[in-house]
Amino acid sequence: MTNEGRDRDRFSLIGHAALPFMCPLTEDELCTLLDHAQLVRGATSLDLGGGRADLAALLARRHGLRATSVDRSAQATEAARTRTQGLDVTLVTSDAAPHVVTLPSRSLALASCVGALHAFGTDTRGWREALTALTRVAERVLVGDLVATSRAASEAFEVAELSAIGPLVSGARASLLLDAARVGAYERAWCASVAAHVASHPGDPRNAWARARLAWTNEPSLQPARTQLAFAVYLL
């Protein structure tokens, strides 16, 4: 992994430190979606791009699943060890796409990838590839990520346009769409944590990545497109 990648992973953990999940969803919202999966205690689950294993920990704690969380970042895996102590959660440090192809067909009760579909590709391709991979290995699939409600925002942020993913998730059992206000609040919370770290550790040589990321977030030319973002989640 490059130094930039390590810096990104490090500041992702810092930015999410005060947030319950490494995405805009709340625990109640996730549990409402998962209720539609009708999961059986003792069943197996897989979460790709799991970060600190927040979702895997939730599945083990509230639904009694034997959960596996996969993330390419060793830093995230180390943070996950603390959060999953005493829970039936297996942690794997690996890229998402190569890991999932090693699994037998229909071997899981639930496979998820929320906020990490870029591991399968940008724009609509990431959704298509992730859904293909996850539906092969699991009876139920939970997917979600940042989307755009306009072509301009889709191009500006290299995310799928909401209308384009509709046909891919037409059979969804449940769905949730968080609007631009929720996405903006989540982004501001992330930025506040990162900015606080930069201010309190002015000598940290890795702050360069954080300063560039904060500047990009406040880039005036991107503000109109930010009002056309949403976070979409589907249970299939």
d(CA 91, CA 26): 22
Residue 76 within any structural domain of the chain: yes
Bridge partners, 176 (sequence order): 233
Structural domain count of the chain = 1
Is 208 a member of any domain?
Answer: no
- 37 part of a folded domain: yes
Helix (H) or strand (E) holding 214: helix 207-217
**pLDDT value, residue 3:** 65
- pLDDT at residue 7 in the model: 86
Q: Are 185 and 144 in contact (CB under 8 A)?
A: no
Q: How many CB atoms lie within 10 A of CB 35?
A: 13
Residue ranges of E strands in 66-105: 66-71, 89-93
Q: For residue 165, is it within any domain?
A: yes
- CA distances to 36, 137, 144, 170, 230 from 173, rounded to whole Å, are 7, 18, 14, 9, 20
| pLDDT computed for residue 137 by the predictor | 98
Q: Flag whether 131 is in a domain.
A: yes
Domain span at residue 175 reads 22-180+228-235
pLDDT tens per residue, range 112-171: 999 999 999 989 999 999 999 999 999 999 999 999 999 999 999 999 999 999 999 999
Q: Which residue ranges in the chain fall short of pLDDT 70?
A: 1, 3
Burial class (CB in 10 A: 0-12, 13-18, 19+), 83: middle
Q: Model-level pTM?
A: 0.95
Q: What is the CATH number of the domain that holds 144?
A: 3.40.50.150
Residue 149 placed within a domain: yes
